[in-house]
Amino acid sequence: MRFGIVFFPTVGPADKPAPQYFDECLRLVDLAEELGLDHVKIVEHYFFPYGGYSPDPVTFLAAAAGRTERIRLGTSATIPAFVHPVKLAGKLAMLDNISHGRLDAAFGRAFLPDEFEAFGISMDESKSRFAENVEAVKLLWSGEDVVWKGSFHSFGPVTLLPRTYQQPHPPVFVTTARSAESCAQAARDGHYLQTVPNVMSTEELQSRLAVYRSEWAASGRTPGTERIHLSYPCVVDPVAEKARAKGRFDHERNTDAISAAVASWADRKSADYPGYEKLAEIGRHPDFDRKLAEGKLLVGSPGEVRDQLARIAAWFGDDVTISLGVHSGHLSVEDAATTVRLMAEQVIPELSAADGPRQERTR
């Protein structure tokens, strides 16, 4: 297993001022770089405390690039529907060059009605815009004199500058897993997978990953070269009860934030988002204990979190990469730094040792 950090702010100005939040995140970036973690990522959202401090993940990642040498930098994800493909391909290519090839480019469809409305984009075009725009970005990265005639954009012949550092292009992840078909499509397209286990049952995710892995191999790709990134909220403390108290508080604040952001799902449906209208029910019942028991959170003492990770490895394979949501902003940066340090010094090294020879995973 590899580990990194994903920043998903759920604070607004009343909770923690933005400059303070970014200072704290950059301090955690420095720590992650120093401790040898694999990556830092940040989300793209708008308007609500739920992610809204980060409307442009590339801007934060570029700041991280400017002060690090080694750690990978990931969008988690960026939304192609909200920007012209030339613009998106261009700024990601700049980040790839500035960081000397450390970009992991994850693309998502977005799911908040208010975001689509602000950009004047119909949610019912979400799937087709996603597919088309990701393809356009990849073509701009890898081709020259590109001519694109799509349903939403047409351009060319143009040759994007700068050319990407990573060739033929940076690793492409798609943020998905809610449907078996989107997992199969990701594998057929040669895209890596990034998802949030919290939004589905363990059995559903196992089944989706099995589809992804088998379709990856069926598409003629070498088994084992697929990549799966899973995000988990994470609070570690030497004292288990302290970790749980902090984890519960953080979970409740995160739940409040998503509840506010998805409220407008209550009165709408979209063919491109089946079942999402149920999102409006999020947050009606406190569920920290259930989520912890179900393995959706990494919260506890170092020993407890090791056990939680062993279970995740058994469920999803020990070759998955874990993105730790250590700093929604509601806890102090000292708490977040404690989590990162304990993960790097007491959890991850012992996991690797316990792994021993690579285990066969259940598919």
Nearer to its own copies, 55 or 143 (CB): 55
Candidates 3, 7, 46, 232; binder of its own copies (CB under 8 A) is 46
Q: Does 84 bind its own copies (CB under 8 A)?
A: yes
Which residues, 6 or more positions from 179, have their beta carbon under 8 angstroms from its beta carbon? 208
Q: How far apart are CA 343 and CA 237, in angstroms?
A: 10
* Interface with its own copies in residues 48-77 (CB under 8 A): 48-49, 52-56, 58-60, 62-67
Q: Does 86 bind its own copies (CB under 8 A)?
A: yes
Bridge partners for 172 per DSSP = 105
Minimum distance between the CB of residue 125 and its own copies, rounded to whole angstroms?
Answer: 15
Query: Using CB under 8 A, which of the segments 150-158, 266-274, 287-295, 352-360 binds its own copies?
Result: 150-158
Tokens of 301: 């003492």
Minimum distance between the CB of residue 161 and its own copies, rounded to whole angstroms?
Answer: 4
Q: How far apart are CA 330 and CA 53, in angstroms?
A: 13
Tokens 């007491």, located at residue: 346
Total residues in contact with its own copies, by rule CB under 8 A: 54
Minimum distance between the CB of residue 274 and its own copies, rounded to whole angstroms?
Answer: 26
Candidates 2, 127, 153, 221; binder of its own copies (CB under 8 A) is 153
Cα 43 to chain center, whole Å?
7
Q: Does 158 bind its own copies (CB under 8 A)?
A: yes
Q: Does 168 bind its own copies (CB under 8 A)?
A: no
Candidates 114, 204, 252, 256; binder of its own copies (CB under 8 A) is 114
Nearer to its own copies, 154 or 359 (CB): 154
Q: How far apart are CA 168 and CA 32, in angstroms?
A: 28
Nearer to its own copies, 121 or 217 (CB): 121
Minimum distance between the CB of residue 335 and its own copies, rounded to whole angstroms?
Answer: 22
Q: Does 43 bind its own copies (CB under 8 A)?
A: no
Minimum distance between the CB of residue 180 and its own copies, rounded to whole angstroms?
Answer: 32
Candidates 3, 7, 8, 82; binder of its own copies (CB under 8 A) is 82
Candidates 122, 159, 225, 332; binder of its own copies (CB under 8 A) is 159
User: Judging by beta carbons within 10 Å of its beta carbon (0-12, 13-18, 19+), is residue 244 exposed, middle or buried?
Assistant: buried
* Interface with its own copies in residues 197-226 (CB under 8 A): none
Give the CA angle between residues 334, 34, 59 to the nearest 5°.
Answer: 80
Q: Does 249 bind its own copies (CB under 8 A)?
A: no
Q: Does 97 bind its own copies (CB under 8 A)?
A: yes
Q: Does 47 bind its own copies (CB under 8 A)?
A: yes
Q: Does 299 bind its own copies (CB under 8 A)?
A: no
Nearer to its own copies, 47 or 249 (CB): 47
Q: Which residues bind its own copies (CB under 8 A)?
A: 12-13, 18-19, 22, 26, 46-49, 52-56, 58-60, 62-67, 82-84, 86-87, 90-91, 93-95, 97-98, 100-101, 114, 117-120, 153-156, 158-163, 165
